Structure 1
Amino acid sequence: MVRRTARWAGWAVAYVLGLVALAAAGAWVWWQPAPTAAGTATNALWARHQWVGETHTGAEYRAFGDLLERGRITDVYFHAGPVEADGTVPAAKYRNARALIAAMRRYAPGVRAHAYLGQIRVAGGAGVIQLDDPAVRARVVRTAGTFLDLGFDGIHYDFEPIYPDDTAFLALLDGTRSLTKARGRLLSVALEQPTLADGLQPLYKALLPRGGRFEYPPRPTDAFLRSVAARVDQVAIMTYDVSLPTRSLAGLHYARHTAHVLRLIGDQVTVFMGVPTYRTSMAWAEDLDGALRGVRRGADALERPPARPWGVGIYADWTTDPQEWARYRSTWLPSEIARING
Structure 2
Amino acid sequence: MLGLAALVLAGAWVWWQQEPEARGTEANALWARHQWVGEPHTDAEYRAFADLLEQNRITDVYFHAGPFEADGTVPPAKYRYARDLIKAMREYAPGVRAQAYLGQIRVVDGEGVIDLDDPAVRERVLETDEEFLDLGFDGIHYDFEPIYPDDEAFLTLMDRTRELTRSRGRLLSVALEQPTLVDAAQPVYRALIPRTGPVHYPARPTAAFLRRVADRADQVAIMTYDVALPTQALTGWHFARHTRATLELIGDRTTVIMGVPTYRPLAEWAETLPVALRGVRRGIDDLERPPERPYGVGVYAGWTTRPGEWARYRDIWLPAPASGAGA
TM-score by length of 1: 0.93
Count of equivalent residues: 326
Describe the SS at the equivalent of 1:119. strand
Where do 1:264-275 residues align within 5 Å? Answer: 264-275=249-260
Measured at CA, do residues 87 and 318 of structure 1 come closer, stay the same or move farther in structure 2, by a change above 3 Å?
Answer: same
Q: Distance in 1 between matches of 2:217 and 2:109?
A: 26
Q: Distance in 1 between matches of 2:8 and 2:139?
A: 42
Relative to total residues, which structure has the larger helix share, 1 or 2?
1
Q: Distance in 1 between matches of 2:53 and 2:20?
A: 25
Q: Distance in 2 between matches of 1:112 and 1:338?
A: 30
Describe the SS at the equivalent of 2:31. strand
Where do 1:109-128 residues align within 5 Å? Answer: 109-128=94-113
Where do 1:1-342 residues align within 5 Å? Answer: 16-336=1-321
Q: Distance in 2 between matches of 1:181 and 1:46?
A: 22
Q: Distance in 1 between matches of 2:237 and 2:323?
A: 25
Q: Does the 8 A contact of 1:125 with 1:210 survive in 2?
A: no
Q: Does the 8 A contact of 2:195 with 2:202 survive in 1?
A: no
Question: What's the CA shift for 1:126?
Answer: 2.2
Measured at CA, do residues 199 and 337 of structure 1 come closer, stay the same or move farther in structure 2, by a change above 3 Å?
Answer: farther
Describe the SS at the equivalent of 2:259. strand
Question: What's the CA shift for 1:211?
Answer: 1.8
Question: What's the CA shift for 1:17?
Answer: 2.2
Percent identity over paired residues? 72
Q: Distance in 1 between matches of 2:303 and 2:82?
A: 18
Deviation string, structure 1 residues 139-161 (Cα, Å, up to 9, x no partner): 00110000000000000000000
Larger Rg: 1
Unaligned 5+ segments in structure 2 are none
Unaligned 5+ segments in structure 1 are 1-15
Q: Distance in 2 between matches of 1:34 and 1:142?
A: 48
Which ranges of 4 or more aligned residues in structure 1 deviate by more than 2 Å? 335-340
Q: Please report the RMSD computed on the Cα atoms of aligned residues, expressed in angstroms.
A: 1.4
